[in-house]
Structure 1
Amino acid sequence: MPVTTNSSAALPSDLDLPGPSRISDTTNVLASVISKPTSVLLSTAKVQILDRYGNYQTVRVLFDNCSQVNIITEKCANRLGLTRRNLSLSIHGLDHMSSAATKAVTCTIRPQSQPNPTFVFEAAVLSKICNDMPCTNISSSSWRHIYPLNLADPEFNVPGAVDLLLGAEIFPQILCGTSGRLVGEPDQPIALNTVFGWILSGKYKSQNPQINCFINTLDTSLESVLKSFWQLEEVPKKITMSADDSLCEKIFSESHSRNTTGRYVVALPFKGTEPIFSDTRSIALRRLYSLEQRLRRNPSLYEEYSNFMNEYIHSGHMEVVENCIPDSNTNTYYIPHHCVLKPESTTTKLRVVYDASSKSQENISLNDTLLVGPKLQQDIAAILLNFRIHAYVFTADIRQMYRQILISPGHQDYQRILWRVSPGEPIQDFRLCTVTYGITSSPFLAIRTLIQLANDEGARFPRAAEVLKK
């Protein structure tokens, strides 16, 4: 774990310097008084690491022979596409600092200049190892003993990110014998020969001295392992709602209703007064022309898209706007639309998606004016824990879940779209009558309606109500 301290900090008076100071029965730290403006250079190297596709990429390594664990940054692991496995590890540093590692990857590294030797090891994944190394640019022009050397990190003196920390497991294996050691003038780092090239380590003169300490130890005690286990098994606590979430809940509670068929009718939860948009129709019209050009290049896709829209109309989920005046400035918003293909789906291979984030001339969209609402979905951890209760389970899907819920007639004109079955027909204005994909409040409205259904019908169907809620 990195710790940055000022070199002028006083050491405790009871230390018997310059000899080693015993911290505990298992850990020794060598402490020394720093009276000159110096910093300590830590060893870095550029190495090649194998990614998931069999290619080698260059990463920057920091060597720490006091660390009991190898560490890779999350950013580097993502870039390499390395497969992660679950891990429960507590990493401890100086002054009781600790970090929890929950993922690990297998790494394979080799020198940049040759294919061998290779090293395979496990590394814990953390968000960050340390700040850029070194802290500032270093002037090394007077370090004559390093000039002829093939340095493992030619840019050792330029601040740069560290991707990988290699600990005591790897460090002894990279050294090239006892003769691979060059010492320069006092207050100049020592060069050590390794399979990756020469690495530099030690004190150097600095006008802005800082020290970075790395001592990573593993906590594998039974108490620590059990604590991590129960933390993983614990169901997440309920989060308190924000002011916006409370307002969204209030709007739903006060405005929802059920029609004569039993369907729920809900209002769009606007942040304030109902907005007025100017000329969103022209934007939707341009997007429709662009969509038609794409569909004409793929007749089968055009047919699927038309079938989807026709089914929308025949289900009563979309209706024609009668006596539409295109240029009128009313409480309307036209939503551009496009399709998303999922060939692997067994139910809906094509879905029309509505872009309610399309900006108007005022540079606002419908989504900008709506409340998102609180997260009502059950946490996946709680759902997985429920699977342990029963010997047999099954899953089911609510068909066209969003479209089972009607939008209040006073808000349906905020869900207008443009459509025609073929380019030879006139363009028609439609309004979407149900909760719609692509509108930011739709997930809240859909799940909140399910909860409301469970509340309203719980007395008649108690077991079904429990399923809907949990």
Structure 2
Amino acid sequence: MKNSSSDSIILATAKVWVRDSSGNYKLGKALLVSCSQVNFIRNEFSQKLRLSRSKQNIEIQCIVTGFKLPLTFCITTHIAYQPDPEIDISSWNIPANESLDAWLEKLWKLEEVATAADPWTREQHSCERLYLNTVSRNSCGRIVVRLPLKDDPSCLGDSYVTALRRFHAQGRRFEKLPLLKAHYIEFMDEYKGLRNMSVVENPKVNEPHYYIPQHCVLKPTSTTTKLRVVFDASCRTTTQKSLNDLQIVGPTLQAELFILLLRFRLYRYALTADIIKMYRQVVMHEDDRKYQYILWRSSPTEEVSTYQLNTVTYGMASAPYLAIRSK
């Protein structure tokens, strides 16, 4: 195939040697049209080859490979006209404020194969750096993390009153549902027994802090935990800011559900496992536990006390990231 630098060539052409009726070869130009079912030859070139005006087989030989192929041609006065190097676009309906180049660029973008872009945002990268710079292990070998805060926690207002009001509302609900109350107390006693929360004798109320309201969700059909306590870190303080408003959510680290389903189709056997109390396996840094205050008492005869949650708490915006990143 002949290489050409001309911009006006649209279809592929090749210079070929064609044998005439005398056995001599004459140079001709072939226009290669892949969809054509009939072969044509110009009248003047057929006369130059001294071909008779009847159908016959003519061999075209490739100089490079020696390939020969007998073909049948239909004689015509012309095959194709040379296209104009300039195309008149004056009749095209192109908006005046956009050029043809802009439209072509849009077309190229539509046809362009998308490249893998960075899936993380700048904030998510910041969350990852903060995690790497602050993560540590305690003397027991457990991972200790910090809350990834994006704003100054001093903007938090009072949260104690709301937490206390919702705690008393929960108590009134327990009076009507004694079985629910028993499950709730059992859950919180286990929380204390595992040292996932501890009483705070002197809450740091003069520093930025946060009281997390709590409520329970009962699911009798569950085979593991029928009652789960939900900590509402999205509850707003008097400044209309909540603890979740200040946290960086963090990037999604787990594989997409579609990818997980495909993995199940790749192998004959599949194994699944569940980490018991996964979030509570990760310890919260002592300096950040003041943002995880809760109110609790086991009996109405006791005083309402302040407790701090010592581990990563579900209900926090950053909890999924911190737990999965630390596993």
Range into which the TM-score falls when normalised by the shorter chain: 0.5 to 0.7
Aligned match for 1:443, one of 311, 317, 320: 320
Q: What is the aligned partner in structure 2 of residue 332 from structure 1?
A: 209
1:265 corresponds in structure 2 to 144
Residues 284, 393 of structure 1: CA spacing in aligned structure 2 closer, same or farther, 3 A cutoff? same
State the alpha-carbon separation in 1 of the partners of residues 259 and 188 from structure 2.
37
CA distance in 1, matches of 2:293, 2:221: 30
Q: Is 2:194 aligned against 1:312? A: no
TM-score (norm 2): 0.63
Question: Per the alignment, in what secondary structure is the counterpart of residue 388 of structure 1?
Answer: helix
Structure 2 counterpart of 1:432, from 300, 309, 319: 309
Residues 152 and 246 of structure 2 are in contact (CA less than 8 Å); yes or no, is this contact kept in structure 1?
A: no
CA distance in structure 1 between the aligned counterparts of 2:321 and 2:282, rounded to whole angstroms: 12
Q: Within 2, Cα distance between the matches of 1:284 and 1:394?
A: 42
The residue aligned with 1:282 is 161
1:396 and 2:282 correspond: no
| 1:339 aligned counterpart, secondary structure | strand
CA distance in 2 between counterparts of 1:289 and 1:443 reads 29
Unaligned runs of 5+ in 2: 1-114
Per-residue deviation at 1:239? 5.2
State the secondary structure of the residue aligned to 1:319.
Answer: strand
SS in 2 for 1:329: coil
CA apart distance, 1:291: 0.6
Instruction: Give a deviation string over 1:114-135, Cα, whole Å, max 9, x none.
Output: xxxxxxxxxxxxxxxxxxxxxx
Partner residue, 1:118: none
**TM alignment of 1:208-287, pairs within 5 A:** 240-287=119-166
Report what 2:287 is aligned to: 410
Residues of 1 paired with 2:170 and 2:251: CA distance?
34
Quick one: structure 1 residues 346 and 237, their matched pair in 2 at CA, closer, same or farther if it must change by over 3 Å?
Answer: farther
Amino acid paired to 1:335: I
User: Does the 8 Å contact 1:435/1:445 carry over to 2?
Assistant: yes
2:218 and 2:116 mapped to 1: Cα distance? 37
Q: Is the 8 A contact 1:420 1:426 kept in 2?
A: yes
Mark the CA change 1:393 to 1:335 in structure 2 (over 3 Å): closer, same or farther: same
Once the two structures are TM-superposed, the CA of residue 276 in structure 1 deviates from its matched residue by: 4.7
Partners of 2:317 and 2:156 in 1: CA distance? 17
Q: Aligned partners of 2:154, 2:303: CA distance in 1, in Å?
A: 29
Is residue 348 of structure 1 aligned with residue 221 of structure 2?
no
Count of residue correspondences = 213
Counterpart position of 1:129: none
1:247 maps to amino acid: S
Shift of 1:389: 2.3
Contact 2:137/2:144, CA 8 A, preserved across alignment: yes
Give the drift of 1:275.
3.2
Report the aligned-residue RMSD. 1.6
Which residue identity lines up with residue 381 of structure 1 in the other structure?
Answer: F
Q: Do 1:334 and 1:416's aligned partners in 2 also have CA atoms closer than 8 Å?
A: yes
Offset of residue 237 of structure 1: 6.2
d(CA) in 2 for partners of 1:324, 1:371: 25
Higher strand share: 1
Identity over aligned residues, as a percent? Answer: 45
Which residue, 379, 382, 391 being the options, matches 2:256?
A: 379
SS in 2 for 1:371: coil
3-state DSSP of counterpart to 1:429 = strand
Residues 238, 433 of structure 1: alpha-carbon distance in 2 compared, 3 angstrom cutoff: farther
How big is each residue's C-alpha offset from its partner over 1:299-330, in whole Å with a ceiling of 9 and x where there is no partner?
010000001001000100000001347xx331
| Aligned amino acid, residue 241 of structure 1 | W
Contact 1:339 1:352 in 2 (8 A): yes
Give me the whole-angstrom Cα distance separating, in 1, the residues matched to 2:167 and 2:258: 42
Counterparts of 1:56-205 in structure 2, within 5 Å, are: none
1:297 aligns with 2:179: no
Q: How far apart are residue 295 of structure 1 and its match?
A: 1.3
Unaligned runs of 5+ residues in structure 1 are 1-235, 451-470
Aligned to 2:22: none
Work out whether residues 279 and 329 of structure 1, in 8 Å CA contact, stay in contact via their aligned partners in 2. Answer: no
Partner secondary structure for residue 345 of structure 1: coil
Contact map agreement 2:293 2:307 (CA 8 A) in 1: yes
Q: If each structure's helix is expressed as a fraction of its own residues, which one has the higher value?
A: 2
Q: 2:168 and 2:117 mapped to 1: Cα distance?
A: 47
Task: Say whether the 8 Å CA contact 2:203–2:290 is kept in structure 1.
Answer: no
Instruction: Report the equivalent of 2:61.
Output: none
Q: Say whether the 8 Å CA contact 1:387–1:393 is kept in structure 2.
A: yes
Q: Which residues of 2 match residues 5-16 of structure 1 at below 5 A?
A: none
Q: Contact conserved, 2:155 with 2:241, CA < 8 A, in 1?
A: no
Give per-residue Cα distances to partners, 1:171-210, cap 9 Å, x unaligned: xxxxxxxxxxxxxxxxxxxxxxxxxxxxxxxxxxxxxxxx
